[in-house]
Chain A
Amino acid sequence: SQTIHQWPATLVQPVGSPLSLECTVEGTSNPNLYWYRQAAGRGLQLLFYSVGIGQISSEVPQNLSASRPQDRQFILSSKKLLLSDSGFYLCAWSGGSGSSREREQYFGPGTRLTVT
């Protein structure tokens, strides 16, 4: 079966510090991968999605970047964090194009980031 891992679970970082959040998926190949942010009391906002290694699409202009160095690894980064970057960061996967599970997305446990 497929599993998705994210770490760390919680993170407190000062303004201006760098960020690296990692997401890995097991039990599937060629997944579509997604990064979302959920601010306190708000809905999920899609930040990035990837359909393959090195292929990243950005949904909103922001202080963050994403990379996909391996098929099942997705990384969210920032060079300098802002207070507004605080939130609950969620990684998700779905089946790749043509997969029977292309439509549904499955989420990792998330990273709760507080920028101070």
Chain B
Amino acid sequence: RKEVEQDPGPFNVPEGATVAFNCTYSNSASQSFFWYRQDCRKEPKLLMSVYSSGNEDGRFTAQLNRASQYISLLIRDSKLSDSATYLCVVNSGRNTGKLIFGQGTTLQVKP
């Protein structure tokens, strides 16, 4: 089983749609959770950290379910500029800064 699993997609949605990505992780000792965005042939950029209580940043909402070892990202009112690959990331265990990256979910927002 992969340490971090994501549906690779692609998710093809029209502008204005709401889209949700899910991710599962295998290490119950993981303490830190993130979503990164990676544009084609560019470096990953931190989109948001994911907190136990859930958190929202504009059109983006992240949720964490520790019991199910599941993380989600919701994007509302999709823009063309949201087209990218979204990487689910967790740290590899308690008190470690090493991160494990999922292979990413590709989003294509169409006009």
Count B interface residues, CB 8 Å: 18
Report A60-100 CB contacts with B as 1/0, cut-off 8 Å.
00000000000000000000000000001010001000000
- Give chain A residues whose Cβ lies under 8 Å from the Cβ of B43: 90, 107-110
Selected contact of A44 from candidates B34, B41, B44, B45, CB within 8 Å: B44
Q: Which residues of B contact A59 (CB under 8 A)?
A: 98
Compute how far the CA of A94 lies from the CA of B34 in the bound complex, rounded to whole angstroms.
Answer: 14
Interface size on A (CB < 8 Å)? 20
B46 A42 Cβ-Cβ under 8 A: no
Q: How distant is the Cα of A108 from the Cα of B44 in the complex, in angstroms?
A: 9
Determine if B16 is an interface residue (Cβ-Cβ < 8 Å): no
Among A59, A105, A107, find the residue whose CB has the most chain B CB atoms closer than 10 A: A105
Asked whether B97 lies within 8 Å of A103 as measured between CB atoms, the reply is yes
Q: Can you spell out 23 A-B residue pairs with CB atoms less than 8 angstroms apart?
A: A42-B103, A43-B87, A43-B101, A44-B87, A44-B101, A49-B97, A49-B98, A59-B98, A90-B44, A94-B97, A102-B97, A103-B32, A103-B49, A104-B34, A104-B49, A107-B43, A107-B44, A107-B45, A108-B43, A109-B42, A109-B43, A110-B43, A112-B41
